[in-house]
Chains A and B, each alone.
Chain A
Amino acid sequence: MALADARAICPDLATRPADLAREAAALASLRRWASRYAPMVATDGVDGLMADISGVPHLFGGEADLRDDLQAQLERAGLHAASAIAGTRGAAHALARHGGGIVADGRLAEGIGHLPVTALRVDPDTAEALMRVGLSRIADLIHLPRAPLARRFGQGLVLRLDQALGAQPEPVAAEPDPPHFGVRMTLPEPIGQQSDVMAGLARLLDRLCAKLAATHMGARRVRLELRRVDRGTAQVEIGLARPMRDPARIAALFAKGVDKIDSGFGIDALRLTATVTEALAPEQIGGRPAIRHEDALADLLSSVGNRIGFDRVLRLLPATSLIPERSFLLAPAAYSTPEPSPHRTGLKRPITLFPPEPVTAASGTPPASFRWRRMRFTTLRATGPERITPEWWFDDPAWRSGLRDYWRIETQEGPRLWLFVTPQAQSWNGPEAQDWYVQGEFA
């Protein structure tokens, strides 16, 4: 039904756009829950679950009791669902979408014969063609000779029919669960000493790193949760400069955080989770000195990052912009790789760059003398101008004064400065005067 028609029937209809991602996530969590009924549960389309319950029903007291239990549990959770049990995947799919129920063993043809052919998972064109020749129910198809049927309606229809009736196998393909990188440990007696916590952490780390190694992953953030006997919890979280699964090196980073924990009346449970993981291929250990140097550098970045914050451990990366401030990026070193700096071409660039600072008492173009940072400078030699125009596609407040003419000014006093003037901006000293700024210092 179209939305306009629905609104015409019911003006107060509340509508909401479908959120396919969240629906898929809900279905995935329902799939995890449904694994209480069967070892193999797979999603079936966007709106169904398919479980292979071979050998399971007697645990619930029979197929009917199992289905009743499932329906009751879903009902209690506020979900309206239809379910069916049949000997084949195709038959269960068809029956669940047309009323639900249970098909007894060996009576598949009778059980789903009364259903329309659209229940067979055939494409709409085939279904329409079947309806046009008067084959509207599955029972009409079962007794027809297969060869003419396949020639007229395609191999797909015959395959679906055979799958529904059990002539063709169709296993339930349950997708593997994503690995969960968490381990925990409960203690018979509470512990309070720092060395005890570190010993427990070492055992947990061994297990966690074995899990990571089995799936070729490395941890980027690791969180340790400690539960105290009075139900309080304490947390220590560390970051790593690069994916890692070496227990000893990760344990060293926890030492500072564990030191600060208040253990209260004692800690009786530990839980260690790798909250962020990245792929890490197996690598040669203890190999060349280059590998050891890289490891040691990553350890330094980890320990510094955990103390002062990973956003303060930076690396300079080149960027493609002529604007001095945007000609390089300050990127967190833990989340970037070094890039070769661009070839030095064109005019010289200063070694330090800072936000523009206005100069005072500037005279002439370029200024023959000026004051900056309470010092008087006399120009010895000026190179320029180099005109840099703002990037109009970015609205940068610093560049609203228009284009800039940069000059390299060598002063009599020694410093070589990078000055610029904004010819398009109105000066504060009068209509013909110009404002000069210092933005960098050369070597």
Chain B
Amino acid sequence: MRPDPADPFDLSPRRVHEAEGRGRRAFALFQAARHPGPLVWILPAHVPELPMLRGLPRGVGERLHLFRPVGETDLLWCVEEALRAAPISLVIAEPEKPLSLTAGRRLQLAAEAGHTTGLVLIRQDAGSNATETRWKCEPAASAAADSTLHQWDLNKNKQGTCGRWILNWNGAAAAVDMVSEARQRHEPADTAR
């Protein structure tokens, strides 16, 4: 199924997706704001970066559960268990090591069993082949003072096309403003009448 051109950022449900890059946590929170229902964020106990409640998008803070397991095995077990739980709408996980194909496939099966969407925040080039889509998210500098630009590239998509979007997301709402790409003009401009 091709992603709807009107809303290319809908993660397909019951699958596990991946996001990498500096802006992956912002992407995860953007997706969290779009998924109604309980959220689970699984990050290793030694990771110092914590989500800050007052900076989260509207309505995300009270739905968020934070699991902080010690060790990679426990982390993957937590991800699988959370994906299998039906009421959870989105599971965000930050594994330390690259996922093996077996682990990635297990997570896909768990997501299908639990009707849950998963989003794995990976390090650079640490993705698994079993993933449904892979996003590369980078914050971008903006010329205007009141816009926070992001560049989100869809690098891998098993059921659709890839793409690249530059958009303005203010970090609070579930909607984004697309920014048209500056490009070379190939056709002549309309003359003013």
Contacts and interface: CB of A to CB of B under 8 A. Distances in A.
Interface of A: 293-294, 296-297, 299-301, 303-304, 307-308, 312-318, 324, 327-328, 330, 333, 338-342, 344, 348-355, 380-381, 410-416, 440-443
B55 A350 contact: yes
B52 A349 contact: yes
A413 B148 CA distance: 13
Nearest to A315: B65
- Prevailing SS type, chain A contact patch: mixed
A199 B88 CA distance: 31
Contact of A327 (B52, B78, B81): B52
Given A297-B88, A341-B61, A381-B145, 8 more contacts: A304-B67, A304-B81, A312-B67, A313-B66, A316-B66, A341-B53, A414-B23, A442-B55
B175 interface: no
Given A297-B85, A300-B85, A410-B141, A351 B62 contact: no
Contacts of B74: 307-308
Contacts of A308: 67-70, 74, 78
A443 B45 contact: no
Report the contact-size class of chain B (Cβ under 8 Å from the partner). 35 or more
8 interchain residue pairs of minimum CB distance? A443-B171, A341-B61, A328-B53, A349-B55, A293-B87, A353-B52, A300-B85, A443-B26
B52 A344 contact: no
B65 A301 contact: yes
B67 A351 contact: no
A442 B76 CA distance: 28
Nearest to B53: A328
A177 B49 CA distance: 51
Contact of B22 (A293, A410, A415): A415
B119 interface: no
A116 to B, nearest CB: 68
A132 B138 CA distance: 96
A313 B26 contact: no
Interface string B26-55: 100110000000100000010011111111
Interface string B127-160: 0000000000011111001001010000000000
A303 B150 CA distance: 38
Contacts of A327: 52-54
Contact of B52 (A328, A339, A412): A328
A351 B70 contact: no
Contacts of B26: 351, 443
B88 A300 contact: yes
Contacts of B68: 308, 312, 314
17 contacts: A304-B67, A304-B82, A308-B67, A308-B69, A313-B67, A315-B65, A328-B53, A341-B54, A350-B55, A351-B51, A414-B22, A414-B23, A414-B140, A440-B52, A442-B148, A443-B23, A443-B55
A293 B86 contact: yes
B52 to A, nearest CB: 4
B49 A353 contact: yes
B109 interface: no
Contact of B55 (A296, A348, A380): A348
A299 B85 contact: yes
A202 to B, nearest CB: 23
A317 B25 CA distance: 20
A414 B139 contact: yes
A442 B150 CA distance: 12
Nearest to A341: B61
